């Protein structure tokens, strides 16, 4: 019989990895709540059309990376490669209501079939922020500020750089697209195969090419900033003014783009050099045309997604876990009273370990291995007298005290 193994590009989230993941997700959830965002969860799989229509029928994600299958009813379904499309679908179908603006936080697993590498897996996790129904530049400022706040709370503010660009409104993008295609067409044969393909279907994505030859050609390309009309320039100026007012530093990156037509105005990424080539840890922008593209009402929107695995890798240290209290019965006959005491302490908010078997010495040894702060010994004499023995495992000292005062004594020792 062959040995069972995890699927390539997946991993088990246990131990230190689980603590780091939890720190990222709980920090995101707490900071989002502080900004007035409500948590939402959409299905892990949707009808394939939800993603094919929003990500672009010819995009790499749709053509090469999506996990798509046919269920027993003959429906074509896809494991979600990103969160935004599912949230937009939920808005259109009425699950989120229609009282605008709507401010949402989500977290969970995503799935893409791609070559696994550092910080990039086939099943990966994201935290996600979306604001639906807010056309104002201030909404862009707020989602960026929330991202910056989460990174700061994680201790990562000094490890990332905020890169910012304006994609302009649809009119500006059309003008620039024609200028860019006209320029790149002169170098068609010198472009990389991927860029040659993108020239026909998604030319703005060429600006993000990592191919050295492409980057040399792009040095002479027309600037998107020069194609922005007055309305687009004013919108971008308000975003920058908001970030300046909050003292959030940023760098303008004229090559930062989103390729699909429903993206407008602000595009941004928080990047790092600490993860090699996989430098983006949080990115997003404004996508005013997405919900209309999906058949819903014309609804402005903005948001971002951040990779949990990448952020977890950047944490300086593994988050500390609350040290448990070990309840130790002196003999098997004391198991039920020990069980009752353990539940009382848990109800009082303590982390409590109660082993299922073993002599006193074995239980105390296990308590030390679990980094327990205290051991509470329950014996027949103590049970009869209404007392317990509290052993301080750090100081190798112990005391006898009334059972009714145990919770307060433990709280005092934890302070």
Domain span at residue 47? 15-169+229-314
Region 240-267: what's the mean pLDDT?
91
Alpha-helix residue ranges (DSSP H) falling in 202-320: 212-218, 224-227, 230-245, 290-293, 308-314
Residue 145 clears pLDDT 80, i.e. is over it: yes
Domain stops at, among 281, 314, 347: 314
One DSSP character per residue, 125-149 reads: EEEEEEEES--SHHHHHHHHHHHHH
Mean pLDDT is lowest, of 131-145, 227-241, 324-338, for: 324-338
pLDDT score at 81: 92
Q: What is the CATH number of the domain that holds 39?
A: 3.30.930.10
Mean pLDDT is lowest, of 76-90, 110-124, 340-354, for: 110-124
Buried b (16+ CB within 10 A) or exposed e, 184-212: beebeeebbeebbebbeebbbbbbebeee
Q: Which helix (H) or strand (E) holds 161?
A: strand 161-166
Residues 101 and 71 in one domain: yes
Residues 78 and 25 in one domain: yes
Examine residue 223 and state whether it is found in any structural domain, yes or no: no
Mean pLDDT is lowest, of 57-66, 98-107, 354-363, for: 57-66
Region 7-12: what's the mean pLDDT?
88
Residues 377 and 240 in one domain: no
Residues 132 and 274 in one domain: yes
Residues 288 and 354 in one domain: no
Residues 249 and 293 in one domain: yes
Residues 107 and 256 in one domain: yes
Q: What are phi and psi of 399, to 5 degrees?
A: -145, 155
Domain stops at, among 287, 314, 341: 314
Tell me if residue 167 falls in helix, strand or coil.
Answer: coil
pLDDT digits 0-9 by tens, 375-396: 999 999 888 899 999 999 988 8
Examine residue 215 and state whether it is found in any structural domain, yes or no: no
Distance CA 269, CA 272 (A): 10
Percent of the chain with pLDDT over 70: 96
Q: What is the CATH number of the domain that holds 410?
A: 3.40.50.800
Examine residue 34 and state whether it is found in any structural domain, yes or no: yes
Examine residue 263 and state whether it is found in any structural domain, yes or no: yes
pLDDT score at 275: 81
Domain stops at, among 288, 314, 340: 314
Distance CA 10, CA 113 (A): 11
For CA atoms 241, 246, 252, 258, the dihedral sign is negative
Residues 233 and 253 in one domain: yes
Examine residue 89 and state whether it is found in any structural domain, yes or no: yes
Which tokens is 183 given? 């320029």
Examine residue 396 and state whether it is found in any structural domain, yes or no: yes
Examine residue 218 and state whether it is found in any structural domain, yes or no: no
Distance CA 257, CA 269 (A): 10
Percent of the chain with pLDDT over 90: 60
Residue with tokens 């900004």: 35
Residues 242 and 127 in one domain: yes
Q: How many domains does the chain have?
A: 2
Residues 284 and 338 in one domain: no
Report the DSSP pairing between strands 397-402 and 45-47: unpaired
pLDDT digits 0-9 by tens, 153-212: 999 999 999 999 999 998 998 898 899 999 998 988 889 988 888 888 788 888 878 888
Region 261-281: what's the mean pLDDT?
87
Residues 31 and 99 in one domain: yes
Of residues 199 and 43, more confidently modeled: 43
Q: What are phi and psi of 296, to 5 degrees?
A: -95, -175
Residue 119 clears pLDDT 70, i.e. is over it: no
Examine residue 3 and state whether it is found in any structural domain, yes or no: no
Residues 285 and 342 in one domain: no
């Amino acid at each position: 019989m062959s040995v069972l193994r995890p699927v390539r590009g997946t991993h088990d989230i246990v131990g230190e990895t689980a603590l780091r993941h939890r720190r990222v997700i709980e920090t995101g959830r707490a900071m989002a709540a502080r900004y007035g965002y409500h948590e939402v969860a959409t299905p892990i799989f949707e009808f394939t059309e939800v993603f094919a229509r929003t990500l672009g029928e010819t995009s790499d994600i749709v053509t090469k990376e999506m996990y798509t299958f046919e269920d027993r009813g003959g429906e074509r379904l896809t494991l979600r490669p990103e969160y935004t499309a599912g949230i937009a679908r939920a808005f259109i179908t009425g699950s989120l209501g229609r009282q605008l603006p709507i401010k949402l936080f989500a977290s969970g697993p995503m799935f893409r079939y791609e070559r696994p590498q550092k910080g990039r897996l086939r099943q990966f996790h994201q935290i996600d922020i979306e604001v639906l129904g807010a056309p104002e530049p201030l909404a862009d400022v707020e989602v960026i500020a929330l991202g910056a706040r989460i990174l700061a709370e994680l201790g990562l503010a000094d490890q990332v750089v905020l890169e910012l660009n304006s994609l302009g409104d649809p009119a500006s993008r059309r003008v620039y697209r024609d200028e860019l295609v006209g320029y790149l067409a002169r170098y068609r044969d010198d472009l990389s195969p991927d860029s040659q393909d993108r020239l026909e279907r998604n030319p703005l994505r060429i600006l993000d090419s990592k191919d050295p030859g492409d980057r040399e050609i792009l040095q002479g390309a027309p600037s998107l900033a020069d194609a922005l009309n007055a309305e687009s320039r004013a919108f971008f100026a308000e975003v920058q003014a908001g970030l300046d007012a909050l003292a959030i530093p940023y760098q303008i990156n004229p090559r930062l783009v989103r390729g699909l037509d429903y993206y407008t105005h602000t595009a941004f990424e928080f990047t790092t050099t600490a993860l090699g080539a996989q430098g983006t840890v949080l990115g997003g922008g404004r996508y005013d045309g997405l919900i209309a593209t999906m058949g819903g009402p014309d609804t402005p929107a903005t948001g971002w997604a951040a990779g949990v695995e990448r952020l977890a890798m950047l944490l300086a240290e593994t988050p500390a876990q609350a040290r448990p209290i070990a309840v130790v019965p002196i003999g098997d006959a004391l198991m039920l009273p020990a069980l009752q005491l353990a539940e009382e302490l848990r109800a009082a908010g303590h982390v409590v370990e109660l082993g299922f078997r073993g002599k006193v010495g074995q239980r105390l040894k296990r308590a030390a291995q679990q980094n327990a702060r205290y051991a509470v010994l329950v014996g027949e004499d103590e049970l009869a007298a209404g007392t317990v023995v509290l052993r301080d495992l750090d100081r190798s000292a112990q005391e006898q005290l009334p059972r009714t005062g145990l919770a307060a004594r433990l709280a005092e020792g934890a302070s």
